[in-house]
Structure 1
Amino acid sequence: MDAEDRLLLIVEDDDSFARTLIRSFERRGYRVLRAAHLAEVQAHLAEHRPGFAVVDLKLAGGDSGLACVQALHAHDESMVIVVLTGYASIATAVEAIKLGARHYLAKPANTDDIEAAFDKAEGDVEVELTERTTSIKTLEWERIHETLAETGFNISETARRLGMHRRTLARKLEKQRVK
């Protein structure tokens, strides 16, 4: 692989998570670019031709990771795109793959998981089919986090939208810190 083949674009709006991914991939020999929204993706594509991309599904400012996947795939159909999300659903997984992503991973995923996904070119008929029930606590936390992201992490507005007292929400957030 030449240097341009090892060029990775990380599309992630969470600064600390992006920094962690960047450091980890750089240690593995990748050159890494970072974008936090679609306009930055397009700016990078005007100057570079990354061979790999890791795209967060839900970006701040209303940008969709799916729009980024579409732009990346349109720029270079051979680019290996992995979608990473904390809001996993069958519908978004299907759309991501239709738009050109090679793989779709639910957070938390680490560099090993992502790099393994880069190498998966085909589906796996041996994958274990499991019935996984989601706990009420997990569903509640996912809904709280989704609403927090929608409100720009405004606690008062999140509590109002969820129909709970602000102090109740604050206590829940203290128990499970938001990154």
Structure 2
Amino acid sequence: MKPITIIRKSVLLLLFSLIIPTSAGVYLSIKEVTDPMTIYLINGCAMLAGCLLLLFIIQKSRFHLKEIGFRKGSLGMWIFPILIIEAIPFIAGFNKDLTVSSFLALCFFMVCVGLFEEGIFRGILFQYLKQINLRTAIWGSAVLFGLGHAANLLSGKSITLTIAQILFAFLF
């Protein structure tokens, strides 16, 4: 496959990754949903639908689930620093008034987001870019993952917070 075709497919995957949460956000805005548990559930279901669509894309591509990172017993020690890094802002921003059902809905949402993002950026997008070379795959997936977070500006987030999130996503 030509490098320009690979880059085009990678950008399309980035856009696909933005359509799912944007659609959920539009629905929540139109319906004027304010209940946190309902917001988490709707966003989580949208991400779950995105995961199913991603599995369809993987099936139609020439990649196998093994190449994308789904291996039996492949969970390594690298997962622990990631869990700690992800847990810090979660614990620091923990709302003590959160009900058990809202907490479970939030956890459902976070797991679905993680699977969706990792499946796209560290999975299939990385495999596409790796066809060019490994360096392009590493840097390209990191840049696209960071740039994907720029969409937060559309939801009214502050530019400072968004830039910090872009940098964190890129480095992560």
- Fold conserved between structures, TM > 0.5: no
Please give the range of the TM-score, normalised by the shorter of the 2 chains. Answer: under 0.3
What is the TM-score of this pair, normalised by structure 2?
0.25
Higher strand fraction: Structure 1 or Structure 2?
1
Q: Normalising to structure 1: TM-score of the pair?
A: 0.24
Larger % of helix: which? Answer: 2
User: RCO higher in 1 or 2 (8 Å CA, sep ≥ 6)?
Assistant: 2
